[in-house]
Amino acid sequence: MAFKPEIDDLSAFEAKETSHTIPLGWSLLFWGLILWGAFYLWAYSPALGGWQQAQDVEGGGASAATNTVMTILFTAIPTAAAIGLALAQRSRKAKKGT
């Protein structure tokens, strides 16, 4: 049995056309979802954040104004991030094309 050096070289088995780093948008989405999940777990689990559904039903939860502000923030921040990523990709493609 002859020694075959190409079998020991793992880089020979790697697909070169798909070997690249993860795009920034995917990385931000990944870490953002992890952070959001940690916040959600803390805010809405009785063991960690002390939240109880009975408080919200009885009126001890957040006010209507707070809910409105938070809804606007939770809509505006991801929208701004998506627009920023789209603009960054557009300028990146323009630089590659020139």
pLDDT tens figures, 25-46? 888 889 989 999 998 888 877 7
Task: Please report, for the chain, the start and end positions of each structural domain, with discontinuous segments joined by +.
Answer: 22-61, 62-98
Higher pLDDT, 41 or 7: 41
3-state secondary structure 19-84: CCCCCHHHHHHHHHHHHHHHHHHHHHCCCCCCCCHHHHHHCCCCCHHHHHHHHHHHHHHHHHHHHH
Residue range 71-75: average pLDDT? 87
State which amino acid sits at residue 49: G
pTM: 0.47
- d(CA 24, CA 87) in angstroms, rounded, equals 13
